[in-house]
Amino acid sequence: MSTSLERYAKAYQLQTEGKEEEAGEIYREIIRQFPESAEAEYAKIQLSEIFKETPEEEETEKRPKTVRKATGVFSIIGFVLSLLACLVLIVFFIMLVRQGQKLEFQKTLSMALSASVMGNEKSFQLHLNRAMALSPRSKEPYLLLADAYLKKNNIKAAIKVIKACPVFDAEIKLYYERINKFGKKSKDAPE
């Protein structure tokens, strides 16, 4: 029994006699030893009939377990790398949005200053309020608005704006003291 045809004939005979396990072993040998032969293709069909196997399942069974484990490890590594790539993209997107907000804030402050120079108070206040909304933790719009009120000798409005500033640092404290020197002393200085 040296040719693929002779082995196939023997396996088929065993299969018809009900000795399917023995026939299956011979079919598998034909597939391994003569993979390019027509009998190998017929053997795959007979194996699928006997054991309800598909050639892919048989290939998986023949593969060593270490190869299957390595494939799983590579899948996990690929998944983790995909997650990292998504995380990097999200961080990049957040940085891009923040940069856009900073540019919008600077542009709005610039428009407020232009409106101030042109004497358009309404536009000046509108742009400063927009700048405060864009960057609530920035003190520049508060200082500019308080300055505008000081120029009109409206001390109470200037103090109210300074108190509304969410950042009360040394610069704001100095500015607050300047307001008090400019006008009447205020009893309600922030601590």
Condensed to tens digits (0 to 9), the pLDDT of residues 33-83 reads 999 888 888 889 888 888 775 455 455 555 444 445 556 778 888 889 999
User: Is the pLDDT confidence value at 189 over 50?
Assistant: no
The pTM of this model reads: 0.48
pLDDT greater at residue 189 or residue 150? 150
131-158 pLDDT, tens digit each: 988 888 888 898 888 888 888 888 888 8
- For the residues 90-118, what does the mean pLDDT come to? 89
pLDDT reported for residue 173: 82
Residue 176 lies in a domain: no
State the total domains in the chain: 1
Residue 93 lies in a domain: no
- For the residues 83-110, what does the mean pLDDT come to? 90
Residue 75 lies in a domain: no
pLDDT reported for residue 61: 53
pLDDT greater at residue 32 or residue 177? 32
What residues contact residue 180 under an 8 Å CB cut-off, 6+ apart?
A: 186, 189
User: What token pair was written down for 130?
Assistant: 């927009």
Domain range for 52 is: 4-62
pLDDT reported for residue 76: 85
Residue 178 lies in a domain: no
**Alpha-carbon gap, residue 131 to 154, rounded angstroms:** 22
pLDDT reported for residue 67: 47
The CA–CA distances, whole Å, from 69 to 23, 57, 60 equal 31, 16, 12
User: Is the pLDDT confidence value at 130 over 50?
Assistant: yes
